Structure 1
Amino acid sequence: MQTRRLSLLIALFFSLAAHAQVTVLLRADTAKYGISPAQLDATYLPLSQLVSGMNEEQRAAMYKVRSEFDRSRYAFIESQGPLPGYGFSYVATEYVRANGAVEWVLISTNGIVSDKLLQELMGRLTAFYNKNNFPVAVSKPFQTMYRTSYGRPLIMEKRLVRTGDSTVSILEIARTTMRPDTVKYLHFNQLGLASVPEVVYRFPNLEELDLSKNKLTKLDARITADIPSLRRLNLLYNQIGNDSVFIAKKTDLRALTLQGNKLTHIPAAVRNCKKLESLWMGNNNLTELNIKPLRGLRRLNDLNLYNAGLTALPRQIRKLKHVTVLDLYYNQLTELPRQIGRMKRLEQLAVANNKLTALPAQLARLKKLNTLFVHHNKLSQLPDQFAKLASLRTLDIGYNQFSNVPDVLLRLGTLESVDISNNNLQTLPTSLIGLKNLKKFYIRSNPLTSNDAKSGPYAQLIEALETNKTEVFY
């Protein structure tokens, strides 16, 4: 009866139309507004304390709606517009009334954050909380905390000046060096450059040119034509747009980074890089993934499409038969084409932070696949065919909707690391002991770990796993 009452109350609060106005502000600014975090902490009890007084079914229901609320918040923030190419991580504490209305949200950021990005995030959070109640009903006001990021966190804002043999990072030194033939690496990152400095053409043996985080609007063909020794070109976070990428037909370029520019498709000129091994196109806003420029690149093994704005993958992705590493983090994919199973050399596939509800059974054809990241999606099961993934060593299915450890996972004897944290696990199968190669097993933030798992019903199983030299994180 108590569980049924809780479910009815949750449904009621999902349907509420009126919401209290929320205040979202920096924890560092609380004094300015006369807010006392200590007083808030005394008034709003930690959610974990309130949950501890519930029975097992109630706790399971509570953790489930908490997970759903987290997902809806993330989805809302994404729906308000593109995430920043590089952003920041932060910690947020929600102070919630007993009726589920979020009243205060205090933010603590990590690193240097621009006012523009901070106001953008706080605006999106405010809009979300003003439209959405926390879907729980409890007897007292409570607080809950989460850690996440807005865009991809930028670890270092200060200019990174690289040093070492055959390396030049300062323009004046590049202009005055008496031995340009000894220089192999030029790092002109974060200099505010609007055009490529003429001095780069002084170096006949240049192998790597870093022009990241400048203000370039064009990649001129002269760079690849007049520097035939160039192997790696980094144009990360510039302002290069469509029809502004030109590459000489005869180039020995092996790695090209065009991340964080203003591109909506893979430039046609990329097809000229016949020896290209690595292409990074993430943090753009690709309207589609046009495979044609890539089809003739028989050495391309690393394709990065992180946060590229993709909503779908074309069936022609099967043409990328030489790719071994495919990064599709932080896109808007709702499904994967079955043809992805024909990328025969694929070893690492990352499709985390998308909107997938299922994975195609054809992924089981990837005989060389050793790493699969699918966390932060909407999965509740894995295809039985995955038992054929004879090389799979790392599997991350955290932040999904699994209620049980998938049966097929227990047949993957090659697994060394499994992460199934932040799901809705109620039980652990004893057959986990059969995974003899398992070294790390993550089950954090599931209903079965709401209390100390080592004193619960699975204490013996966890001890048995640890005896088999499996680290269990709960």
Structure 2
Amino acid sequence: MITNCCRINLLDLKYLKISYLQLRGIKNLSILRSLETIDFSNNHISNFDSFSEVTSLVNLDLSYNRIQSVENAEESYNLRTLNLTANSVYSMEGLDRMFSLEHLNLTINQLKQITSVNQLFCLKQLYLSFNSISKIENLNGLDNLEDLNLSFNNIYQIENLSELKNLKKLSLSCNKISKIENLHQLTVLEELDLSSNKITEIGDLVECCKLKIINLKYNKIINIERFSRISNLLALNLSKNEICEVEINTGFNKLINLSLSENQIKDF
């Protein structure tokens, strides 16, 4: 453990990186009053509290550590980027105090619910893949969210996304979704990844007129005709589905990349 930062107080540090040292903690960080970026990734840190004392902090990378909770974190008015990838975080409580957060990464943790983020009005990116989340919820209020990743979870239904008016990229790959629904209000959505689910019908997807990239690899789709109604579509991946026949007569005016490999196509 690094126990005293007083001696480097006069350096006016803005960036501090200490990685791969099995570091368990660091005291007196608040003395570094100009510190804006900390990278303590790949250590053995289990306590988040001391980092919230650095009021000047803008970017914090604590990925690949042993943090379980941020519940006792103090108010962090300046923190914009927080990376907690590959920790043991089981609760999102405490995140609602980080009012300026724009980028939040909680990939590879132990989360079962989405909570405490609907007050993060500045949030643009939210990464929650590789957790145990079963329901999309508590995202109302995230008016500036542009990129949401919920891949590799236990989600059965697409729901509660209607208020994400600025969402441009949505990743829900490797879940248990069987139906595409409740996406028609995402009017600026450009990229959608629903690969490795159990989808048979594309539902209201045709109403997402801004969509440019769709990945539906590893599903159970049998027909591609309705995709032709998505006028701005540039790339469509339907590999490893159950398509037997392909008829492309109209539509697909902008399509430049179409993948249909490993289907059951007999007639094209």
| TM-score, length-scaled by structure 1 | 0.52
Mapped pair 1:371 → 2:199: no
Q: Which letter does structure 1 place at the counterpart of 2:152?
A: Y
Mapped pair 1:331 → 2:153: yes
Once the two structures are TM-superposed, the CA of residue 340 in structure 1 deviates from its matched residue by 1.4
Distance 2:71 2:22 in 1: 19
Query: 1:391 — aligned with what?
Result: 210
Instruction: Give the count of matched residue pairs.
Output: 265
Query: 2:100 — aligned with what?
Result: 275
Match of 2:238 among 395, 420, 437: 420
Q: Does the residue aligned with 1:224 lie in a helix, a strand or coil?
A: helix
Equivalent residues in 2 for 1:83-162 (5 A)? none
Mapped pair 1:435 → 2:260: no
Distance 2:10 2:234 in 1: 50
Contact 2:30–2:55 under 8 Å retained in 1: no
Distance 2:9 2:92 in 1: 39
Match of 2:178 among 357, 365, 371: 357
Mapped pair 1:188 → 2:18: yes
Question: Which structure has the highest helix share of the two?
Answer: 1
Query: 1:294 — aligned with what?
Result: 117
Contact 2:61–2:83 under 8 Å retained in 1: yes
- Tell me the alpha carbon deviations over residues 268-317 of structure 1, each in whole angstroms, 9 at most, x when there is no partner: 2x112111111112211112222xx2222110111110111112223x33
Query: 2:67 — aligned with what?
Result: 240
Provide the identity percentage.
22
Contact 2:121–2:141 under 8 Å retained in 1: no
Distance 2:47 2:140 in 1: 31
Q: Which letter does structure 2 place at the counterpart of 1:288?
A: Q
Contact 1:266–1:281 under 8 Å retained in 2: no
Distance 1:239 1:193 in 2: 11
Q: Which letter does structure 2 place at the counterpart of 1:228?
A: T
Q: Which letter does structure 2 place at the counterpart of 1:371?
A: E
Q: Does the residue aligned with 2:205 lie in a helix, a strand or coil?
A: helix
Contact 1:421–1:442 under 8 Å retained in 2: yes
Equivalent residues in 2 for 1:8-23 (5 A)? none
Unpaired runs of 5+ residues, structure 2, are none
Distance 2:6 2:55 in 1: 20
Q: Which letter does structure 1 place at the counterpart of 2:101?
A: L
Mapped pair 1:311 → 2:128: no
Task: Note the aligned Cα RMSD (angstroms).
Answer: 2.3
- Tell me the alpha carbon deviations over residues 22-42 of structure 1, each in whole angstroms, 9 at most, x when there is no partner: xxxxxxxxxxxxxxxxxxxxx
| TM-score, length-scaled by structure 2 | 0.90
Distance 2:58 2:65 in 1: 20
Mapped pair 1:216 → 2:45: yes
Contact 1:180–1:204 under 8 Å retained in 2: no
Once the two structures are TM-superposed, the CA of residue 204 in structure 1 deviates from its matched residue by 3.5
Contact 1:180–1:202 under 8 Å retained in 2: no
Equivalent residues in 2 for 1:158-177 (5 A)? none
Contact 1:224–1:251 under 8 Å retained in 2: no
Distance 1:375 1:303 in 2: 19
- Tell me the alpha carbon deviations over residues 447-474 of structure 1, each in whole angstroms, 9 at most, x when there is no partner: 22xxxxxxx853xxxxxxxxxxxxxxxx
Contact 1:355–1:378 under 8 Å retained in 2: yes
Match of 2:263 among 440, 446, 461: 446
Query: 1:261 — aligned with what?
Result: 87
Query: 1:204 — aligned with what?
Result: 33
Contact 1:275–1:297 under 8 Å retained in 2: yes
Unpaired runs of 5+ residues, structure 1, are 1-170, 449-455, 459-474
Query: 1:340 — aligned with what?
Result: 161
Contact 2:46–2:67 under 8 Å retained in 1: yes
Once the two structures are TM-superposed, the CA of residue 203 in structure 1 deviates from its matched residue by 4.0
In structure 2, the CA distance between the partners of 1:248 and 1:238, relative to structure 1 (3 Å rule), is same
Q: Does the residue aligned with 1:349 lie in a helix, a strand or coil?
A: strand
Contact 1:386–1:408 under 8 Å retained in 2: no
Once the two structures are TM-superposed, the CA of residue 438 in structure 1 deviates from its matched residue by 1.1
